[in-house]
A and B are shown apart, each in its own frame.
Chain A
Amino acid sequence: MANNADTFVAPVKCIKDESKDLPFFQTSEAYARIISYIQALNTAVANRKVSDPIPVSEPVTKIIALLDTLDSWITLVPPKPDPQRFGNLAFRDYIGMFEEKSTELLEALLPQNLHVAIKEISPYLTQGLGHGTRIDYGSGHELSFVAWLSCLEMIGFLQHGDHAAVVLRVFVRYLELVRKLQRTYQLEPAGSHGVWGLDDYQFLPYLWGSSQLKDNERLRPIAVMQVPLLEQYAPDYLYFRAIQSIHE
């Protein structure tokens, strides 16, 4: 994505026929970009705790403030008391409000010269919290949020130096937001693998979380089965926090 006004377009769904479009996607530039971004973030947090002192730039601080705003909107759209099929219909209103205000949010976040990119990057953000019609959340929404973060780097708002903070500050804050949404609106697990997957909702906390524990000699994977260890290590380690969240 060059910083050229005419090259920003609103994204459209391109993977429609899985048998053809998915293999095509897997050899595309877009795929290479998102995978390499995830891998770069993975490298940046190797053996680092959440509480480690890391550089936190102004853009990172502003993104966290945006997530705080999204969190504050939950009280403005309380769950509806009447009987639902499963997920709470108020989530449709929440997402509706989010979609309506997304341009405003991004205009406040980004400097003037980057506003031209908003029409392209906005859907990745608004699809990062779950699906308004299905009232569900899954690892695809998590990926959409990370795609948004990678867009912010592509347009120059975030830098390489922000990688550790993107995981240990921004993504950690994002996880707390989506966990609250999952609980509050009783979001269905989208595309859950049931007992054949570890988590109904999240995926990347396990990847980046394992990088945090890469060379850790004290903590073995079996430690996540012990509740006292979960409590002790959840604040610092995404992996432990994710398992703790499953138990909640």
Chain B
Amino acid sequence: MGSDLDRQIQTLLQCKIITEAEVKELCLKAREILVEESNVQRVDAPVTVCGDIHGQFHDLKELFAVGGECPKTNYLFMGDFVDRGHHSVETFLLLLALKVRYPDRITLIRGNHESRQITKVYGFYDECFQKFGSANVWRYCCEIFDYLSLSAIIDDRIFCVHGGLSPSINTIDQIRTIDRMQEVPHNGAMCDLLWSDPDPDSCTGWGLSPRGAGFLFGESVAKPFLHTNGLELIARAHQLVMEGYKLMFDETVVTVWSAPNYCYRCGNVAAILQIDSNLERNYAIFKESDRNSTNSRTNPQREGPPDYFL
């Protein structure tokens, strides 16, 4: 079993897919591990915190090159592993395989894209169909999405969540009471945690989110939340950042974005947040992989013309 998993990891590291039967088994094993995790998963420093990946597999390899290989480096990924990029399948399965192999060295929390509704539109479903010939792998992965934690807390001081805060949630304990093992709801606390955005340009508390899910929250919401819960930082992802990371609200909230040259067009750099055992923080920046030039959209890598094209 262990050597199978190692072999699968080696396959995935080369950006090659494993079989559907292997995916099914991997997901079964992953479920057993994830079901035991809390809605607010406790993580020990040192750990490296990462933002959205969105199927940019070769850039994930860059991330590991900069941050160190797993399990030598401990990792926490804040969701949005899939959609938009070329390799959502390889990206998610690699991270999942690493989780099964080294469950205490890597933590995966849920992003708003880890959802059936969203992945049907933004590419993961299509990619699964293209690579496996059916929707089965997509279904297995969507079931795993339901088991992913909603958030993590590092040494009781750094709170990590994909989107942001919720008007329904004042304390970390309240998050623990959520029944998370379901499709991401359209509203409510679980939805807000995965969809909200900090809004540094409004000093007022809560605002309606133009995304149509979650809320905007200002400094007057973030600071009391930190204070009430004894936190020093909220790390989150969910929003594209040109410089890879962005600090807000007197450096109490940070957005970390880990997909360089997003959609192979946006021209941004990516970042990871390296937290050492003293909770000292360092932001490491990285650019897109050279491998991407052969994978950009101007050179479609599919065999034969895309269905819609001819």
Which A positions have Cβ atoms within 8 angstroms of B? 16-19, 83-86, 89, 92, 131, 133-134, 186, 188-189, 192-196, 198, 200, 221-222, 225, 246-247
Query: In the complex the two chains form, is B309's CB within 8 Å of A221's CB?
Result: yes
Query: In the complex the two chains form, is B122's CB within 8 Å of A195's CB?
Result: no
Query: In the complex the two chains form, is A193's CB within 8 Å of B265's CB?
Result: no
Bound CA span A18–B117, Å: 10
- B125: nearest chain-A partner, CB-CB: A196
Q: Does B114 contact A (CB under 8 A)?
A: no
Closest 7 CB pairs of A and B: A194-B84, A196-B123, A194-B263, A86-B242, A86-B240, A133-B210, A134-B210
B236 vs chain A, min Cβ distance (A): 13
What residues of chain A lie closer than 8 Å to B297, measured between beta carbons? 195, 198, 246
What residues of chain B lie closer than 8 Å to A89, measured between beta carbons? 201
For the complex, count residues of B whose C-beta is within 8 A of A. 34
B300 vs chain A, min Cβ distance (A): 9
Bound CA span A134–B195, Å: 14
What residues of chain A lie closer than 8 Å to B201, measured between beta carbons? 89, 92
B261-303: contact bitstring with A at CB < 8 Å (1 yes, 0 no)? 0011110100000000000000000000000000001100000
Q: Name the residue in A16, A19, A192, A198 with the highest tally of chain B Cβ atoms < 10 Å from its Cβ.
A: A192
Query: In the complex the two chains form, is B255's CB within 8 Å of A195's CB?
Result: no
Query: In the complex the two chains form, is A85's CB within 8 Å of B84's CB?
Result: no
What residues of chain B lie closer than 8 Å to A133, measured between beta carbons? 210
- B127: nearest chain-A partner, CB-CB: A196
Query: In the complex the two chains form, is A193's CB within 8 Å of B186's CB?
Result: no
- B298: nearest chain-A partner, CB-CB: A247
Q: Which of A19, A85, A92, A200 contacts B263 (CB 8 A)?
A: A200
Bound CA span A191–B71, Å: 34
Query: In the complex the two chains form, is A195's CB within 8 Å of B309's CB?
Result: no
B297 vs chain A, min Cβ distance (A): 5
Query: In the complex the two chains form, is B265's CB within 8 Å of A200's CB?
Result: yes
Q: Does B111 contact A (CB under 8 A)?
A: no
Query: In the complex the two chains form, is B84's CB within 8 Å of A16's CB?
Result: no
Since A85-B242, A192-B84, A246-B297 are in contact, a sample of 15 more A-B pairs with Cβ atoms closer than 8 Å, ordered by chain A residue number, is: A17-B186, A18-B117, A83-B243, A86-B240, A86-B242, A134-B210, A194-B54, A194-B85, A194-B123, A194-B264, A195-B263, A196-B126, A198-B297, A246-B298, A247-B298
- Report B160-217 residues with CB < 8 Å from chain A CB: 186, 201, 210-212
